[in-house]
Chain A
């Protein structure tokens, strides 16, 4: 796939690596028993440990460790039997200990990979360097008082998984697909709730540009992006900025950047000279984390079917394209919905492609319009299955089915109910259709003449007239056949 972008003088290639920070789905924090509930009143979920009171000590939350192992398995990665928690030392008002407990030299999860799928049916592996566990910091609130900063420690100590990719990503779209895939995997595993708005999944993006086949350029890191849209915007802006500098003879300074979501621009947060020396060293309050192969196997056995496996299953059983299957399996809600729909009637297996289309285009667009998630769809999988069956057995036309779906969406009634009640059943009686066609031909002698004189396009006019008279219920195929016969 050609991802080159054009500068004023040269073509450039983006080189992108991403660090995803995914909040571990867990009721309590990584080293304390405080709750992790989002949106609680400031400083209401803070234990003595989270506030770094004198003499307080961290104790590892085993559940978070299991969640990290599960995630590692989902990323096709090596689970390390031995890992170590280190202290990353720096001062900030919302970092109560004066250090973050993280994993530096020995992460819990090593090398892995995830696959992203393109529309054209091709796919690409993005290599994972590692996944490690770390504590989140608290939150500094600068906007509550003109001269003061307030600190909310509710988030302080919440468990994060940092997932680091190799610089294998080459475009904003790939970056978006990569994040979506990571999110999907973690949500299948139930190890992260994937809620980007609430900050449960954030990304730091490292980006540099180079001329094709040259060495990597100097990179900049864009911090703390919390939507796929912003990630793409930020990458585009930053790449252009770097290209402009390079093409005008300048050089890139390694920087940490912030992305302004309202201007769509990146700006430096700090430069190399001010870079922190984090003085990592093993946390003496914690013993190294040892996980036996037996424990890893035990955790593995609890893992549900993951998107890539499910995707292949869908391709094999339902004869779907790679791309369709990857869209269906992009999140668990969708794959579950598809599964339930197609299993609601054995006949539907033949119409799998129609099922996919009705879920991913018609239903999704209605959901979007109404700002709803699939999980709260007013149309149940069973009802959607019924609708598809009405289409595939020619009981209603596709056009009418759209109206029926809208009606189902607003009334929560079944497709069958609506079709019966409104008399929308397709007219397939040849005699009945022929009668209407005769009427239309009789009413429009001039048009018939023109058509016979070679104006083929007028066929549509006659179809329209018949449909109008039958309120759209005439079976299009039968209608076409008879009309062509009559007009020839």
Chain B
């Protein structure tokens, strides 16, 4: 494929080596060819061509002018429906544009469509979507693989070359894990770097927008395009956004890389440990200092996450009640019945499970034992990282405990599914930036991912370290 680099494509467009129209047609062709992967919930060729027409008339210089991007269908978009992969929002058309997607539109990007996800971003395989599974483009004949989740559609769209970049959201690993499964780069920045305004909420204290690309350079370009303060989001950080791309530097000499001992867990496939060691060696060779560190509360991260996230979700999803917008059951004899049937029919199994868990942990008599305790543990986990970052600049771990698994494999075992987030959840609870980059392959030649975590708002060093690994790997 000739266009796999977003950075190079920007240059080609600027030099008129290719027109916006030609580029878009190429991607429309790709999307149509790969339609069986079920990557998009919404794809409308005419809408893409309309965007092309407008941009071709627009003579102003724009950073991402004509660049085809895919948008996770959790971001509200004015010109395309927004479903959160749920029946309850099946026909929902927002009258507003999310902060992140508006920034991309302002940069002249073209949205090729809205990508599939786990319903309301709850899942790790993009298999809880009301619109069906997405298939990992790296699947071999006969055995469809999961793309990871919840942003599986976006990760798959980049991997299958259906766009040059995609947006995702990450609550407990929903960008990093699918990036790892699909062999692409995915970054979840620091909590607060990108406004949550206009993103259907899953767990407000954890949700964060980020991007997927084919390489680190592209990720730095896209992230700096969507980051920034937004007074409409009270948790948005009012900081100057660095020029990540311009400052990109693969030099890690003198940087200290922390290797947390708690991330070596029983049952992790040997090849995961192997690529982790390999990555450490590469960084050491590139001049970094390696330091063994401890994040003692790591083992509590997953249970903590699976209390806090459902608790917030149970409240965040209360607004989908059939009263104002979205799906409303036709079997209604009373207000209570309207709620029960609308929500009973409108939400899928996993969403209902999490609403129930969340309702339970917040209920009278259980709040202290679950929610309050989880909040305390969350502080301890965040503090682990604060302590660790006194000794090191970055932390390197595997992204996920496995490579892409076959579709439908873990659907009936939620606990096993939740274990996918074991390496990604701690940083989410601490609000830290984390990137996953493809590094190495397993025995079936499937990509594996390395996760690099940085200090709050230190995305630059995260990118730099990723670039260092990426360059050596290539």
Residues B89 and A54 in contact, CB atoms below 8 Å apart: yes
**B204, CB-defined interface residue at 8 Å:** yes
Which residues of chain A are near B96, meaning CB under 8 Å? 48, 53
A277-308 vs B, Cβ < 8 Å mask (1 yes, 0 no):
10111001111000000000000000000000
CB distance from B355 to the nearest CB of A (A): 11
- Complex CA distance for A307 and B82, rounded to whole angstroms: 55
Contact (A52, B324) CB under 8 Å given A57-B197, A57-B232, A99-B315: yes
Interface centre among A51, A56, A60, A89 (most CB of B within 10 A): A56
Interface centre among B75, B231, B233, B321 (most CB of A within 10 A): B321
Residues B235 and A285 in contact, CB atoms below 8 Å apart: yes
**B92, CB-defined interface residue at 8 Å:** yes
Within residues 189 to 226 of chain B, which ones have a CB less than 8 A from any CB in chain A? 196-201, 203-205
* B323 touches which of A151, A284, A286 (Cβ 8 Å): A151
Contact (A89, B315) CB under 8 Å given A55-B199, A285-B204, A287-B234: yes
Residues B312 and A284 in contact, CB atoms below 8 Å apart: yes
Which residues of chain B are near A97, meaning CB under 8 Å? 318-319
- Complex CA distance for A151 and B199, rounded to whole angstroms: 26
* Chain A residues bordering chain B, tally (CB within 8 A): 30
Which residues of chain A are near B371, meaning CB under 8 Å? 281
**A10, CB-defined interface residue at 8 Å:** no
Within residues 150 to 173 of chain A, which ones have a CB less than 8 A from any CB in chain B? 151
**B339, CB-defined interface residue at 8 Å:** yes
Which residues of chain A are near B335, meaning CB under 8 Å? 92-93, 149
- Complex CA distance for A99 and B98, rounded to whole angstroms: 23
**B311, CB-defined interface residue at 8 Å:** yes
Residues B82 and A98 in contact, CB atoms below 8 Å apart: no
**B363, CB-defined interface residue at 8 Å:** yes
A276 to chain B: closest residue by CB: B364
- Complex CA distance for A151 and B322, rounded to whole angstroms: 13
Q: B-side binding surface: helix, strand, loop or mixed?
A: loop
CB distance from B357 to the nearest CB of A (A): 13
Residues A59 and B234 in contact, CB atoms below 8 Å apart: yes
Interface centre among B75, B96, B311, B324 (most CB of A within 10 A): B324
**B94, CB-defined interface residue at 8 Å:** yes
Which residues of chain B are near A53, meaning CB under 8 Å? 76, 94-96, 324-325
Residues B204 and A284 in contact, CB atoms below 8 Å apart: yes
Which residues of chain B are near A57, meaning CB under 8 Å? 196-197, 232-234
CB distance from B259 to the nearest CB of A (A): 32
Residues A54 and B94 in contact, CB atoms below 8 Å apart: yes
**B362, CB-defined interface residue at 8 Å:** yes
Residues B76 and A60 in contact, CB atoms below 8 Å apart: no
Which residues of chain A are near B324, meaning CB under 8 Å? 51-53, 96
B318-343 vs A, Cβ < 8 Å mask (1 yes, 0 no):
11010111000000000100010000
B363 to chain A: closest residue by CB: A277
- Complex CA distance for A151 and B324, rounded to whole angstroms: 9
A98 to chain B: closest residue by CB: B318
CB distance from B75 to the nearest CB of A (A): 8
Which residues of chain A are near B94, meaning CB under 8 Å? 53-55
**B151, CB-defined interface residue at 8 Å:** no
Which residues of chain B are near A56, meaning CB under 8 Å? 197-198
Interface centre among A55, A58, A59, A99 (most CB of B within 10 A): A55
Residues B319 and A55 in contact, CB atoms below 8 Å apart: no
Interface centre among B314, B315, B363 (most CB of A within 10 A): B315
Within residues 156 to 172 of chain B, which ones have a CB less than 8 A from any CB in chain A? none
**B304, CB-defined interface residue at 8 Å:** no
**B359, CB-defined interface residue at 8 Å:** yes
**B84, CB-defined interface residue at 8 Å:** yes
**A82, CB-defined interface residue at 8 Å:** no
* B234 touches which of A54, A98, A279, A285 (Cβ 8 Å): A285
Contact (A55, B234) CB under 8 Å given A98-B321, A284-B205: no
Contact (A54, B200) CB under 8 Å given A48-B95, A98-B321: yes
A87-103 vs B, Cβ < 8 Å mask (1 yes, 0 no):
10101110011110000
Residues A96 and B323 in contact, CB atoms below 8 Å apart: yes
Within residues 283 to 322 of chain B, which ones have a CB less than 8 A from any CB in chain A? 311-312, 314-315, 317-319, 321
CB distance from A482 to the nearest CB of B (A): 82
* B203 touches which of A60, A87, A280, A284 (Cβ 8 Å): A284
Interface centre among B82, B198, B323 (most CB of A within 10 A): B323
Which residues of chain A are near B196, meaning CB under 8 Å? 55, 57
Interface centre among A54, A91, A277, A279 (most CB of B within 10 A): A54
* Chain B residues bordering chain A, tally (CB within 8 A): 43
Which residues of chain B are near A151, meaning CB under 8 Å? 323
Contact (A54, B82) CB under 8 Å given A48-B95, A59-B232: yes
CB distance from B269 to the nearest CB of A (A): 35
Interface centre among B82, B95, B235 (most CB of A within 10 A): B235
Contact (A281, B367) CB under 8 Å given A91-B318, A91-B321, A93-B335: yes
* A279 touches which of B92, B321, B362 (Cβ 8 Å): B362
B15-33 vs A, Cβ < 8 Å mask (1 yes, 0 no):
0000000000000000000
B231-264 vs A, Cβ < 8 Å mask (1 yes, 0 no):
1111100000000000000000000000000000
- Complex CA distance for A135 and B179, rounded to whole angstroms: 41
- Complex CA distance for A48 and B232, rounded to whole angstroms: 12
* A287 touches which of B76, B235, B312, B321 (Cβ 8 Å): B235
A64-97 vs B, Cβ < 8 Å mask (1 yes, 0 no):
0000000000000000000000010101110011
- Complex CA distance for A233 and B314, rounded to whole angstroms: 41
CB distance from A120 to the nearest CB of B (A): 46
CB distance from A82 to the nearest CB of B (A): 16
A124-167 vs B, Cβ < 8 Å mask (1 yes, 0 no):
00000000000000000000000001010000000000000000
* A55 touches which of B198, B315, B323 (Cβ 8 Å): B198
Residues B321 and A59 in contact, CB atoms below 8 Å apart: no
Which residues of chain A are near B321, meaning CB under 8 Å? 91, 93, 98
A54 to chain B: closest residue by CB: B200
Which residues of chain B are near A91, meaning CB under 8 Å? 318, 321, 339
B201 to chain A: closest residue by CB: A55
Contact (A54, B235) CB under 8 Å given A93-B335, A281-B371, A284-B203: no
A257-284 vs B, Cβ < 8 Å mask (1 yes, 0 no):
0000000000000000000010111001
CB distance from A150 to the nearest CB of B (A): 11
Residues A98 and B319 in contact, CB atoms below 8 Å apart: yes
Within residues 12 to 63 of chain A, which ones have a CB less than 8 A from any CB in chain B? 48, 51-60
- Complex CA distance for A425 and B70, rounded to whole angstroms: 92
Which residues of chain A are near B203, meaning CB under 8 Å? 284
B311 to chain A: closest residue by CB: A281
CB distance from A353 to the nearest CB of B (A): 56
Within residues 59 to 110 of chain B, which ones have a CB less than 8 A from any CB in chain A? 75-76, 82, 84, 89, 92, 94-96, 98
- Complex CA distance for A49 and B197, rounded to whole angstroms: 10
- Complex CA distance for A52 and B75, rounded to whole angstroms: 15
- Complex CA distance for A281 and B362, rounded to whole angstroms: 7
Within residues 244 to 267 of chain A, which ones have a CB less than 8 A from any CB in chain B? none
B84 to chain A: closest residue by CB: A54
A48 to chain B: closest residue by CB: B96
CB distance from A140 to the nearest CB of B (A): 9
16 inter-chain pairs at a CB distance below 8 angstroms, sorted by A residue, are A53-B325, A54-B89, A54-B94, A55-B94, A55-B98, A55-B200, A57-B196, A89-B314, A89-B315, A97-B319, A98-B315, A149-B335, A277-B364, A284-B204, A285-B204, A287-B235
13 more A-B contacts (CB under 8 A) besides A53-B95, A89-B362, A279-B359?
A48-B96, A54-B76, A55-B201, A59-B234, A93-B323, A96-B319, A96-B324, A97-B319, A98-B315, A279-B314, A284-B312, A287-B234, A287-B235
A residues whose Cβ falls under 8 Å from a Cβ of B:
48, 51-60, 87, 89, 91-93, 96-99, 149, 151, 277, 279-281, 284-287
4 closest A-B pairs (Cβ-Cβ)? A98-B318, A284-B204, A284-B205, A279-B362
